[in-house]
Structure 1
Amino acid sequence: MGIVTPGIVPATTLMAEPVPAWLGRWTAFAADLQFSDLPEAALDRARLVLLDSLGVIAAGMREPECRALAERLAARRTGAAPAIGSGLSLDPRDAALVNGAAGTTLELDEGNQYARGHPAIHVVPAALAVAQEVKASGADLIAALVLGYEIGARIGIASKLRVTMHPHGTWGTVGAALAVAKLHGADAAMIGRAIGLASSLGLSTSRRTMLEGATVRNTYAGFSNQLGLTAWDLAESGFLPERDGIGTVYGGILADDFSADAMVEELGTRWEIARNYFKRHAACRYTHGALDALAQIRAESGPLDPDSVRSVEVATYVWAAQLDHPAPETMLAAKFSLPFALAAALVRGEANTDAFRDEARADRRILALARRVMVREDPAMTAQLPSLRPATVTLTLADGRKLSAKALTNRGDTEDPYSADDVRDKFRALAGPVWGAERSEDIIRAVAGIEKAERVGALLALVA
């Protein structure tokens, strides 16, 4: 048998080679970036992303497993970093883990359609934990958040993650590490070291976890945040990364077809955080086109008796068409079931957080209706990815009438965005049960003026 892989380049030769041009440009860009360099469009969205993330983390922290994890970690060691909305203070690394996990639990965290993932929830918990530790200003926090979001999203854009992988817990680790390095005032060399180390720390995530409802999936983003802090500790301790770990890992290990050009295309002028999306349906984004089409039908037809719906037909793109299990066994699995999400929305009026809990999953009307939902892939719709996320929903009623509607994009996408008021209303709905109306409004005001804060401690005290 012949040798099928090249030999190892000696370390002295390897370290003498220059870093790839794209990476050198990126580390210099990140080191030089100041808050004042950010355009208003990126700043506006960053404030909303921060607010939205705080809301989804606090609401997720109310789930039993997230609360139990926070309590277990607090019993072992405490620190100054809050497990948001819990009243518990943790070591920063533990807080980054718990807050990241809580932020994905309800499937309401923001995302980026071009990156095919959720950059913010991989960055915000790590940035908050470190900002408290280094006594960062609000402007420092926002700059770090935008940078971490940018590099994570661009890795997602520049590569094609393996289809068996879940995007959580992969390139988000690099985003977290960059945010942490920036908050520590790292120069270009140390930024390169930290993100290079982080590239080797991505998880072996399984896509099946979301389909089976295995809630280990909710921890993936938490570990990305925690490992982002660890990457900085490793960098400061003198550990060395592969010369181009990002290119290697996302060019042939976790992903393929890494494009160095995509990493620097319009760098500094096109900001990925300004192209994000927010979510109002508490379910996998692949279900949102169909849920939006159903909402159109309901708006045009008026009240519908769910028991009068003989069948529901859904034509959509490939990733959404895979979510066709009509009888999910857990809350997470229900959020990744198009039949269940549509049936719950028809019976309960909307696909909110309660639509996927135990009570809803035991509702015989929802379960019976979910079995009458047929989902199929339309190859023409698949071909419209990633810019469009189309779905056509057709209801056949007992009296023979057919009601149909089509959505080309998801509400909240760049092409059909939610307004700032919509995002704030979502925050109020999630935060109110945790903090009450008065404190929720205080948090909204604090985030709206975050760049004026000399320290982030006041905001963290509000959400602790």
Structure 2
Amino acid sequence: MLPLDTAAAQDAEATKPRTPPRARQFQGRTLTATVADYAAATSLARIPPEVLDRARKVVFDEMACAYFGCTSPGATAATRHVAGCGSPGEARIYGTALRASAPYAAMANGTAGHGYEVDGTHVVGGHPGASIVHTVTAIAEKQNASGAELLNAVILAYDVGVRIVEACGGKFSVRDRRHLTSDFFYAMGGTAAAARILKLSPTRHRHALALVTFQTNGLYALYAEKDHISKSFCNGQYAFAAISSAQMAQAGLEGNEDIIGSAEGVLDAWGDGRHDDAVVAGLGRDFKIMGANFKFYNAGYPIHTPIEAVQTIIRQNAIANDAIQSILIGMPQNAMKVVDNREMHNISVQDMVAANLAKGGLKLVDEPFPAILSDPTYKRLRTLISVAVDPELQSEFPNGRGARVTIVTRDGKRHVLRIDNPRGHSLRGDVSWDDLAEKWRGSLPNCDPGRALEIARNLDKLTSAKDLFAAFAGTNG
């Protein structure tokens, strides 16, 4: 306990009148008003072709991820919860015959979207797609929105959500200063998207953005559990909150009309005080969906470059597993913190690299754990792997996803390969439709990804986005 005099002094300090920080402005308007006015007026007519194509790919890939993850432990639990809520059947729950209200469908599908580590990430950090896309698809199904409306809403959600993360200093800043996952900010992007699908006024957009802050948060400790359940459910909860908040605003509920920039608002609570302008910087010109990344391994994203580097060295030099003496994986510190020796196997770089070596490579559908834990080859290789901060990568790309792998063989030879960005990363170049077709071929036995891909390539031409949903499900409606 504090001494009485110390406690009394603190109480006195707490009761002193204080001057709250001044609300932020942009060209004479509040930040939230600027965002809301933009959100309520967006349309696909203003979107450049390359942005539109990226959005089509993101929607297709994230829907495929949810079908892939619909049998995961997190998705199964979320679907069981949703089924018990007795909500009306406004939108489908992927991979099942169930339907639910749009918020609850988004909850189940968003959880499935990150049920395994195959869904997209972003250069700013986190997993926006699993929350954003399933927010938009659920509310789009309820409203019978067109493909163009769906795509416009997804692009808008990235533009709002990513900017909030940037304004708060980025993923690692939010984690280190506030002990939170910045992914909960993507619920604000999803809220703007849902409000746009509902055709809310700018004023109602502002209220919706305030209301979603009641329903979202994300202590980073949630990511420490072993079974990827709460980690995946975070995305489902953010999708649920996004639609709920837009519908609350539609019904007349209200909140602070400048929740982003006001005193005691989002930036005061979670910002770093140095990036406030990011909320509106480049809005309408710099489309944040262009920073979306695609995954081609079922593993945490910082693990992708180590796996790729190890596989490349082994293949190019014809190295047998029993010839390996040691493997050193060098990474930036922030990436290493995410994947170094984690209890959750598919976000542990040591576990996933050893499993890939022991199995001669893993396909998307392969789930080697826990069976491989008793495999002698895996156990031996696992002991040979060490992870350390790479000074060069740390200096050049402190928030990057690169890796330098050094394999030493029993004959004393050293094989070194550095890869700065994993396959599918937006800084490495665009992902083609053929790449996505290859990713999902044979991985979704209970739906029709080939038909869905062809429809997704022309999503903006669909009178009803339900045609895409039906294609994934292998139905006619």
| TM-score after normalising by structure 1 | 0.89
Aligned residue number for residue 41 of structure 1: 50
Is 1:89 equivalent to 2:99 in the alignment?
yes
1:181 corresponding residue in structure 2: 195
Per the alignment, residue 149 of structure 1 pairs with 158
For 1:174 and 1:323, how far apart are their aligned partners in 2?
A: 24
Greater shift in the superposed pair: 279-288 or 372-381: 372-381
Structure 1 residue 265 and structure 2 residue 281: aligned? yes
Question: What is aligned with 1:420?
Answer: 433
Q: 1:316 to 1:131 in 2, by over 3 A?
A: same
Aligned-residue offset at 1:208: 5.9
Residue equivalent to 1:281: 297
| Selected match of 1:305 from 314, 320, 331 | 320
> Matches of 1:157 and 1:349 in 2, distance apart?
39
> In structure 1, what is the equivalent of residue 348 of structure 2?
337
- The structural deviation recorded for 1:68 is 4.5
Q: For residue 312 of structure 1, what is the amino acid of its counterpart?
A: I
Aligned pairs for 1:110-259 (under 5 A) are 110-113=120-123, 115-160=124-169, 161-163=174-176, 165=179, 167=181, 169-207=183-221, 209-210=223-224, 212-213=226-227, 215-247=229-261, 248=264, 250-257=266-273, 259=275
Q: Distance in 2 between matches of 1:183 and 1:210?
A: 35
Q: Secondary structure at the match of 1:204?
A: coil
Code of the aligned partner of 2:250: E
Note if contact 1:53-1:124 (Cα within 8 Å) is conserved in structure 2: yes
1:80 matches 2:114 = no
User: Residues of 2 paired with 1:457 and 1:8: CA distance?
Assistant: 53
Residue 26 in 1 paired to residue 35 in 2? yes
The alignment status of 1:70 with 2:82, answered yes or no, reads: no
Could you tell me how far 1:214 is from its partner in structure 2?
5.0
State whether structure 2 residue 115 is matched by structure 1 residue 100.
Answer: no
Whole-Å separation in 1 of the counterparts to 2:422 and 2:143: 39
Matched, 1:370 2:382: yes
The whole-number CA distance in structure 2 between the counterparts of 1:441 and 1:315 is 38
In the aligned structure 2, how far is the partner of 1:343 from the partner of 1:284?
15
Is 2:100 aligned against 1:58? no
Give me the CA root mean square deviation: 2.7
Distance across 1 between alignment mates of 2:28 and 2:254:
13
Secondary structure of 2:120 counterpart:
coil
Instruction: Give the CA deviation at 1:81.
Output: 1.1
Give the secondary-structure state (helix, strand or coil) at the position aligned to 2:13: coil
SS state of the match for residue 411, structure 1? Answer: coil
Given that 1:340 and 1:367 are in contact with CA atoms closer than 8 Å, whether structure 2 keeps it comes out as: no
How far, CA to CA, are the matches of 1:233 and 1:9 in structure 2?
35
Residues 255, 213 of structure 1: alpha-carbon distance in 2 compared, 3 angstrom cutoff: farther
Which AA in structure 1 matches 2:181?
A: P
1:262-288 deviation line (CA, Å, top 9, x unaligned)? 122221111111222111121111112
**Structure-2 change in CA distance of 1:172 and 1:295 (3 Å):** same
Q: Deviations over 1:170-196 (max 9, x none)?
A: 101101111110000112111111112
Separation in 2 of the partners of 1:349 and 1:86? 34
Percent identity of paired positions between Structure 1 and Structure 2: 23
Q: What residue is the counterpart of 2:369 in the other structure?
A: 357
Opposite residue 350 of structure 1, the aligned amino acid is G
Which amino acid is the alignment partner of residue 320 of structure 2? D
Contact kept in structure 2, 1:168 and 1:220, CA below 8 Å: no
Helix, strand or coil for the counterpart of 1:400? coil
Give the Cα separation in 2 of the matches to 1:60 and 1:166. Answer: 24
Q: What residue is the counterpart of 2:4 in the other structure?
A: none
Counterpart-to-counterpart distance in 2, 1:359 and 1:96: 33
Cα distance per residue 1:324-347 (max 9 Å; x no partner)? 655x65xxx112211111111211
In structure 2, C-alpha distance between the alignment counterparts of 1:324 and 1:174, rounded to whole Å? 27
Paired residue type of 2:256: E
Which range moves more in the overlay, 419-428 or 175-184? Answer: 419-428
Q: For the Cα contact (< 8 Å) 2:301–2:401, is it kept in 1?
A: no
> Which of 333, 348, 354 is the matching residue for 2:359?
348
Amino acid at match of 2:333: V
Question: What is the aligned partner in structure 1 of residue 330 from structure 2?
Answer: 315
Structure 1 unpaired stretches of 5+: none
Counterparts of 1:4 and 1:380, CA distance in 2: 46
* 1:229 Cα deviation from its structure 2 partner: 1.3
Deviations 1:115-168 (A, max 9, x none): 212222111111111111111111111111110111111111221313264536
State how far apart, in whole Å, the 1-side matches of 2:296 and 2:235 are: 20
* Mapped pair 1:444 → 2:456: no
Aligned residues: 449
Match of 2:311 among 295, 318, 334: 295
SS in 2 for 1:203: coil
Q: Post-superposition shift, 1:252?
A: 4.2
| Offset, 1:441 | 1.7
Where structure 2 has 5 or more consecutive residues not aligned to the other structure, the ranges are 1-8
The counterpart of 2:446, out of the listed 423, 426, 434, is: 434
Contact in 2 for aligned 1:130/1:183 (Cα 8 Å): yes
**Structure 1 residues 395, 255: closer, same or farther in 2, change over 3 A?**
same
